[in-house]
């Protein structure tokens, strides 16, 4: 019920300082506005709003009259204001179904009018109702939207009730308690600045609840006693009943002696204000209390409870029917107006048709002939354009295909020339220089053997390079088809390792082969062995004497990841160009025959097998080539 209180506070303008005088003036001025006028509708809605916390039956009467009059006048602002008032009344009647109906209707109309304050008010009221129904997601959505709109309102007096309502909604949320208390203090500050007695009492009721939570029941009871008397003196019977209700609650918790007194005062305030829902708790408690003393003493409270039940059922039936009746009558009147307008339009059309029939026929004949000619011309133009477009598209496709082939062949040619120029020049130059040493007469046998061995090594290296280039060229030619087969990866690497065993042993290198024996890879054998040989060759060549070489393989999903690691280093500036034939970096210059052709072909082979290859290095003592197929 306390949350309902602060939901309804949003309906109350905080600038209503002297509400008794305002009510008196409005009631006196009602005859001056005339029976059916916008000013009269506004006055009724204002009275319904002012009576909401004072006398519920009067508030309901004026809200209902304002709603009916606004509908007759088709006054959207008046319908929205009266709908919010009726929603507030039904909230106090505990008829959330009808309350939501009126709130939603008011929200829709406020949105059509672009009324930000009205939208904020309707959103927050709907959010509170959804929270009471334990529909937290929808409640949070409406409340957050209301807070976002309310924070942008030009007048902070309209912002104060939203802040107080925010406190009541989130005071029990541990993650938002600080912001809730800050909102309450800000609301109290605004209310004090404007001298708004109603909001001051409402916020002080919340502060009394905070005192109870802080373990100060004596201070809370003292403050609530003053607030209840102040609310009763000001005519705010709903606030007075709520204050006495809090006193009754705290008296029961701390076993205070004034429980019966608080319940009587709460019941009296609720009865004077017509707040039947607030009557239930004190009437039921007093009935149980006096029943123990005798049936006669409890009889008045039983009668009160019975009247409350009858009134609630009567109001629910009556207003549900009234609401639907108003909407149906309005829809019927709207349909009648549309029907009359349609009949008038038919009469005008018949008159025009009778006077201009011959002219229209002539006009349509001429238009038909012109349209036929245009259709024929357009058909021929479209046919010609479509045929020309198809021919042009065919020519463009053929030209693009030829350009693609030319570009492929040109790129292949440039790549091949660059590889041959870069990677064959150096070993052939060494062979020529070494061969010229044989012409010297002072050459010794040891030097002769060393030169012969160097020439043989370079020739072998050049032959290996040439075979690699031939294999790569074959893969680039049209007609090459990739047909993968299953192979045991461990056996393939054993085969690659054997020819290099001498170099590995001569340089005291430690080779670790971490490949599961049952790991199978789908690949082209010659392509894959070429990649494996070159990666192991590079690892052996660039590892320091006594260094470690590690070959790891692991399955991942339907792929296999192979990593070849050595203790050499590649400069960070060269890493982006290791697989690029167009740029010869420091790494390419330091390899003898270069990283160029071997790694370029490795990259091409891996990609043709549907995989990827990459390299990473710290530049000093760690380099890892990794490919995935």
Query: Is pLDDT at 377 greater than 80 in this prediction?
Result: yes
As to burial, measured by CB atoms within 10 angstroms (0-12 exposed, 13-18 middle, 19+ buried), residue 529 is middle
> What is the rounded average pLDDT of the residues 419-424?
58
Residue 92 near residue 8 (C-beta atoms within 8 A): yes
Query: Is pLDDT at 394 greater than 50 in this prediction?
Result: yes
> What is the rounded average pLDDT of the residues 116-127?
88
What backbone torsions phi and psi does residue 520 show, to the nearest 5 degrees?
Answer: -110, 140
Q: How confident is the model at residue 591 (pLDDT cuts 50, 70, 90)?
A: very low
d(CA 251, CA 231): 20
Q: Above pLDDT 90, what percent of the chain?
A: 18
Q: What is the CA radius of gyration of the chain?
A: 47
Residue 462 near residue 533 (C-beta atoms within 8 A): no
Lowest mean pLDDT among 6-20, 123-137, 474-488: 6-20
Query: Is pLDDT at 70 greater than 70 in this prediction?
Result: yes
Domain residue extents for the chain: 233-328, 482-628
Query: Is pLDDT at 585 greater than 50 in this prediction?
Result: no
> What are the residue ranges of helices labelled H in 499-624?
501-506, 525-542, 586-589, 595-608
SS3 annotation, 39-106: HHHHHHHHHHHHCCCCCHHHHHHHHHHHHHHHHHHCCHHHHHHHHHHHHHHHHHCCCHHHHHHHHHHH
Q: pLDDT: is 266 or 455 the higher one?
A: 266
Q: How confident is the model at residue 167 (pLDDT cuts 50, 70, 90)?
A: confident
- What was the pLDDT predicted at 327? 47
Q: How confident is the model at residue 408 (pLDDT cuts 50, 70, 90)?
A: low
Query: Is pLDDT at 563 greater than 90 in this prediction?
Result: yes
Q: Which fold has domain 482-628?
A: Heat Shock Protein 90 (3.30.565)
d(CA 230, CA 405): 95
Query: Is pLDDT at 355 greater than 70 in this prediction?
Result: yes
Q: What is the Cβ-side half-sphere exposure of residue 342, based on CA atoms within 13 angstroms?
A: 6
Q: How confident is the model at residue 185 (pLDDT cuts 50, 70, 90)?
A: confident
Range picked from 162-166, 459-463, 484-488, 594-598 for highest mean pLDDT: 484-488
Q: How confident is the model at residue 550 (pLDDT cuts 50, 70, 90)?
A: very high
- What was the pLDDT predicted at 468? 63
Q: pLDDT: is 3 or 289 the higher one?
A: 289
Q: How confident is the model at residue 511 (pLDDT cuts 50, 70, 90)?
A: very high
Q: pLDDT: is 187 or 465 the higher one?
A: 187
Q: pLDDT: is 255 or 330 the higher one?
A: 255
d(CA 20, CA 54): 10
> What is the rounded average pLDDT of the residues 523-542?
89
pTM: 0.49
Which of 21, 108, 33 minimizes the C-alpha distance to 69? 33
Q: How confident is the model at residue 234 (pLDDT cuts 50, 70, 90)?
A: confident
- What was the pLDDT predicted at 323? 47
Q: pLDDT: is 420 or 587 the higher one?
A: 420
Q: pLDDT: is 463 or 418 the higher one?
A: 463
Strand, coil or helix: what is 119?
Answer: helix
Query: Is pLDDT at 354 greater than 90 in this prediction?
Result: no
Q: pLDDT: is 437 or 190 the higher one?
A: 190
191-203: per-residue pLDDT in tens?
A: 888 787 888 888 8
Q: How confident is the model at residue 494 (pLDDT cuts 50, 70, 90)?
A: very high
Which of 157, 202, 216, 161 minimizes the C-alpha distance to 183? 161
d(CA 491, CA 521): 11
d(CA 459, CA 132): 90
The residues near 318 (Cβ < 8 Å, ≥ 6 apart) are none
> What is the rounded average pLDDT of the residues 578-586?
61
SS3 annotation, 234-295: HCCHHHHHHHHHHHHHHHHHHCCCCHHHHHHHHHHHHHHHCCHHHHHHHHHHHHHHHHCCCH
- What was the pLDDT predicted at 212? 85
Q: How many CB atoms lie within 10 A of CB 273?
A: 27
d(CA 261, CA 393): 96
- What was the pLDDT predicted at 547? 92
Q: Above pLDDT 70, what percent of the chain?
A: 77
- What was the pLDDT predicted at 125? 87
Lowest mean pLDDT among 256-270, 400-414, 453-467, 511-525: 453-467
Query: Is pLDDT at 439 greater than 70 in this prediction?
Result: no
Q: How many CB atoms lie within 10 A of CB 173?
A: 10
Q: What is the DSSP letter of 12?
A: S
- What was the pLDDT predicted at 549? 95
75-111: per-residue pLDDT in tens?
A: 999 999 999 999 988 888 888 888 989 999 999 999 9
Query: Is pLDDT at 288 greater than 50 in this prediction?
Result: yes
d(CA 611, CA 596): 20
> What is the rounded average pLDDT of the residues 510-523?
93
Q: What is the mean pLDDT of the chain?
A: 80
Query: Is pLDDT at 13 greater than 70 in this prediction?
Result: no
Query: Is pLDDT at 17 greater than 70 in this prediction?
Result: no
- What was the pLDDT predicted at 293? 83
- What was the pLDDT predicted at 156? 61
Q: pLDDT: is 526 or 321 the higher one?
A: 526
Which of 479, 471, 511, 510 minimizes the C-alpha distance to 494? 511
- What was the pLDDT predicted at 626? 96
- What was the pLDDT predicted at 329? 53
d(CA 256, CA 384): 100
């Amino acid at each position: 019920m306390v949350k309902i209180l602060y939901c309804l506070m949003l309906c109350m303008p905080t600038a209503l300082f002297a509400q008794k005088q305002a009510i008196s003036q409005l009631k006196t001025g009602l005859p001056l506005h005339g029976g059916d006028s916008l000013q009269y509708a506004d006055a009724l809605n204002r009275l319904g709003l002012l009576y909401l916390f004072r006398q519920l039956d009067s508030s309901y009467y004026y809200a209902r009259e304002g709603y009916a009059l606004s509908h007759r006048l088709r006054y959207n602002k008046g319908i929205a204001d009266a709908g919010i008032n009726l929603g507030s009344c039904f909230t106090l009647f505990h008829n959330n179904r009808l309350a939501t109906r009126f709130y939603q209707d008011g929200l829709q109309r406020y949105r059509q009018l672009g009324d930000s304050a009205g939208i904020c008010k309707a959103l927050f009221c709907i959010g509170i109702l959804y929270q009471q129904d334990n529909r937290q997601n929808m409640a949070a959505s409406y409340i957050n939207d209301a807070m976002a709109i309310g924070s942008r309102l030009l007048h902070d007096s309209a912002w104060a009730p939203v802040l107080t309502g925010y406190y009541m909604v989130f005071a029990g949320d541990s993650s938002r308690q600080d912001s809730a208390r800050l909102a309450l203090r800000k609301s109290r500050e605004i209310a004090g600045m404007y001298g708004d007695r109603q909001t001051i009492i409402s916020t002080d009721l919340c502060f009394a609840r905070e005192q109870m939570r802080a373990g100060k029941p004596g201070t809370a009871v003292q403050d609530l006693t003053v607030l209840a008397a102040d609310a009763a003196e000001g005519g705010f019977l709903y606030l007075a009943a709520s204050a006495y209700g809090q006193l009754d609650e705290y008296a029961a918790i701390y076993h205070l002696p004034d429980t019966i007194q608080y319940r009587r005062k709460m019941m009296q305030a609720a009865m004077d204000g017509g707040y039947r829902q607030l009557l239930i708790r004190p009437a039921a408690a007093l009935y149980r209390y006096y029943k123990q003393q005798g049936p006669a003493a409890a009889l008045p409270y039983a009668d009160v409870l019975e009247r409350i039940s009858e009134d609630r059922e009567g109001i629910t039936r009556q207003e549900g029917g009234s609401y639907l009746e108003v909407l149906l009558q309005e829809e019927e009147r709207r349909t009648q107006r549309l029907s009359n307008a349609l009949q008038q339009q038919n009469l005008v059309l018949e008159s025009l048709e009778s006077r201009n029939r011959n002219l229209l026929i002539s006009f349509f004949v001429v238009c038909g002939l012109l349209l036929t000619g245009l259709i024929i011309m357009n058909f021929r133009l479209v046919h010609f354009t479509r045929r020309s477009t198809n021919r042009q598209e065919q020519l463009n496709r053929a030209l693009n295909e030829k350009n693609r082939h030319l570009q492929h062949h040109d790129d292949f040619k440039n790549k091949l020339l660059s590889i041959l120029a870069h990677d064959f020049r150096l070993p052939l130059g060494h062979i020529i220089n070494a061969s010229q040493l044989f012409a010297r007469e002072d050459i010794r046998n040891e030097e002769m053997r060393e030169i012969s061995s160097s020439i043989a090594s370079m020739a072998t290296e050049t032959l290996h390079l040439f075979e690699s280039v031939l294999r790569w060229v074959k893969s680039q030619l049209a007609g090459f088809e990739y047909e993968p087969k299953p192979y045991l990866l461990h056996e393939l690497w054993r085969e690659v390792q054997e020819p290099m065993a001498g170099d590995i042993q001569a340089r005291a290198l430690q080779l670790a082969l971490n490949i599961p024996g049952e790991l199978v890879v789908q690949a082209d054998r010659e392509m894959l062995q070429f990649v494996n040989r070159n990666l192991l060759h590079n690892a052996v060549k660039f590892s320091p004497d006594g260094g470690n070489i590690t070959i790891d393989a692991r399955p991942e999903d339907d792929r296999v990841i192979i990593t070849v690691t050595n203790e050499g280093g590649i400069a960070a500036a060269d890493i982006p160009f290791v697989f690029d034939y167009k740029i010869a970096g420091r790494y390419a210059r330091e390899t003898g025959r270069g990283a160029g052709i071997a790694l370029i072909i490795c990259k091409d082979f891996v990609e043709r097998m549907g995989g990827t290859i990459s390299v990473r290095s710290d530049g000093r003592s760690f380099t890892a080539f990794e490919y995935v197929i």
